[in-house]
C-alpha cells in the first residue's frame, strides 16, 4: 500500500498567501515557522531544500529530533515524514521541487542530482554563512518572477532552478564529511542496525507493528534488536514503531478527507475501536477529537492520499 503524500499544490493551498509556486512543481517560501505548513507530521511529495541563515529551528525527520542553530542547509527527501516543532529568531527560506521538476532539467545535471539525492534519505549540515550567502539571490529572484510573471518566466525559472540545484549539490559535496546526523562515538554495529531498522520501519509501519517482524527482516533475535536499538537511540523498537504509526495516523487525519474507518484499514488495525483506543492511549485524545481540533483552527484541507 502506497504511503500518503501531500503535493506541492496541496501544500500551497495550506500556506495560502505565504507561498509562491510554479505549475505545482516548485514552491518557495520564507514563512518556515508558519504553523499551517509543517505543524503536523507530513510526507511531502517533493524534495525540500531548507536554507537557514540565522536563528534556531527544531524539527523532526522520521520521528528523530534535530535542531539547526545558525546558518546551515537541510535537504529532505519525499519518503520522509517531517514536522517543524519550534523556532526562535529564525531567518530561513525553503524551495521545494517535485520529481517532475527534476526530470525537466538537462540530462547531465539530472544524473548528478540522482547520484546524490536518492542515496541520501536526509542531509543536514551547519555551513558558515559566507558559504550560504551565494544561495540567497536564487530565492529572491524566483520570488520576484513568480510574483510578477513575464513572457520569459518559464525559461527564467528553469534556469534559476538549475543553477540553484547545482549550487546545493556542490554544497552537499563539500559538507558531506561534516554531516551532523552521524554519531561517530556510537557503537558502529548498533548504528548500522538502527539505520536498517528505521529504513524498514518507514516501509512497513502501515502494516507491521511487532518487534518480531523487524527482527526477522534483519536476521537477528527480538532481544538483540531491542538491545542494539536501545543502546544507540535510548529508546526501544516498540516505542519507535508506535510513534511512527501515530505520525502516519496524524498525517492521514490531517491531510486527507478519508474516514477514520479508512485510516483504520490503512494502518492495519482490526477494528476502528482498536485504532481509536491505540490513538487515544498514545496522544490523549481520540481520532475524531484530533480532527475536530484541526478543523476549529482552520487547518483542514482537501488533500487526497
Q: What is the pLDDT of residue 15?
A: 61
Residue 248: inside a domain: yes
Cell numbers for 9: 499544490
Residue 303: inside a domain: no
- 216 and 291, same domain (yes or no): yes
- 224 and 165, same domain (yes or no): no
**Is residue 42 classed exposed, middle or buried when 0-12, 13-18 and 19+ CB atoms within 10 A define those classes?**
buried
- 38 and 166, same domain (yes or no): yes
CATH for 252 = 1.10.10.60
Q: Is the pLDDT of residue 19 over 60?
A: yes
Q: Is the pLDDT of residue 302 over 50?
A: no
Residue 305: inside a domain: no
If we measure between CA atoms, which residue out of 126, 140, 134, 40 comes closest to residue 93? 140
- 140 and 209, same domain (yes or no): no
- 34 and 173, same domain (yes or no): yes
- 194 and 136, same domain (yes or no): no
69 within 8 A of 124, measured Cβ to Cβ = no
Q: What is the pLDDT of residue 11?
A: 80
For 170, residues 6+ apart whose C-beta sits below 8 A from its C-beta are: none
Question: What angle do helix axes 211-218 and 188-204 make, rounded to 10 degrees?
Answer: 120
Residue 2: inside a domain: no
- 46 and 114, same domain (yes or no): yes
Question: DSSP assignment, residue 3?
Answer: P
Q: What is the pLDDT of residue 199?
A: 86
Q: Is the pLDDT of residue 251 over 90?
A: no
pLDDT tens per residue across span 99-155 = 899 888 887 787 777 766 655 567 888 889 999 999 999 999 999 999 998 999 999
- 208 and 242, same domain (yes or no): yes
Residue 47: inside a domain: yes
- The whole-model pTM stands at 0.74
Q: What is the pLDDT of residue 305?
A: 34
- 196 and 173, same domain (yes or no): no
**Cα 214 to Cα 18, 76, 136, 202, 258, distances in angstroms:** 41, 25, 43, 11, 29
C-alpha span between 274 and 292 (Å, rounded): 20
Q: Is the pLDDT of residue 304 over 70?
A: no
Residue 213: inside a domain: yes
226 within 8 A of 216, measured Cβ to Cβ = no
Residue 1: inside a domain: no
- 171 and 69, same domain (yes or no): yes
DSSP 147-170: HS--TTHHHHHHHHHHHHHHHHHH
- 120 and 256, same domain (yes or no): no
pLDDT tens per residue across span 35-79 = 567 778 888 889 999 999 999 999 999 888 899 999 999 999 888
Residue 260 belongs to what domain range? 188-296
**Apex 291 CA angle, 255 and 84, nearest 5:** 55
Average pLDDT (231-255) is 89
C-alpha span between 241 and 207 (Å, rounded): 11
- 18 and 164, same domain (yes or no): yes
Amino acid at each position: 500500500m502506497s504511503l500518503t503524500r501531500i503535493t506541492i499544490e496541496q501544500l500551497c493551498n495550506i500556506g495560502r498567501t505565504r507561498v509562491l509556486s510554479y505549475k505545482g512543481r516548485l514552491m518557495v517560501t520564507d514563512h518556515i515557522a508558519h504553523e499551517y505548513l509543517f505543524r503536523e507530521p507530513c510526507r511531502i511529495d517533493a524534495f525540500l531544500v531548507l536554507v537557514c541563515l540565522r536563528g534556531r529551528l527544531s524539527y523532526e525527520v522520521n520521528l528523530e529530533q534535530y535542531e539547526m542553530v545558525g546558518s546551515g542547509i537541510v535537504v529532505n527527501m519525499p519518503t520522509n515524514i517531517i514536522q517543524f516543532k519550534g523556532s526562535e529568531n529564525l531567518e530561513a527560506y525553503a524551495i521545494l521541487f517535485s520529481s517532475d521538476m527534476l526530470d525537466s532539467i538537462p540530462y547531465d545535471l539530472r544524473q548528478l542530482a540522482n547520484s546524490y539525492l536518492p542515496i541520501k534519505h536526509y542531509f543536514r549540515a551547519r555551513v558558515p554563512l559566507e558559504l550560504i550567502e551565494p544561495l540567497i539571490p536564487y530565492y529572491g529572484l524566483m520570488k520576484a518572477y513568480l510574483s510578477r510573471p513575464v513572457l520569459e518566466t518559464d525559461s527564467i525559472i528553469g534556469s534559476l532552478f538549475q543553477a540553484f540545484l547545482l549550487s546545493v549539490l556542490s554544497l552537499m559535496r563539500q559538507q558531506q564529511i561534516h554531516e551532523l546526523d552521524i554519531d561517530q562515538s556510537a557503537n558502529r554495529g548498533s548504528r548500522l542496525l538502527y539505520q536498517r531498522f528505521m529504513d524498514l520501519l518507514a516501509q512497513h509501519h502501515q502494516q507491521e507493528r511487532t518487534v518480531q517482524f523487524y527482527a526477522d527482516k534483519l536476521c537477528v533475535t527480538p532481544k538483540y534488536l531491542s538491545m542494539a536499538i536501545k543502546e544507540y537511540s535510548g529508546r526501544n523498537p516498540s516505542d519507535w514503531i508506535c510513534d511512527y504509526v501515530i505520525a502516519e495516523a496524524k498525517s492521514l487525519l490531517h491531510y486527507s478527507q478519508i474516514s477514520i474507518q479508512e485510516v483504520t484499514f490503512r494502518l492495519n488495525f482490526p477494528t476502528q475501536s482498536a485504532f481509536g483506543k491505540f490513538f487515544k492511549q498514545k496522544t490523549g485524545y481520540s481520532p475524531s477529537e484530533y480532527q475536530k481540533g484541526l478543523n476549529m483552527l482552520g487547518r483542514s484541507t482537501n488533500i487526497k492520499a
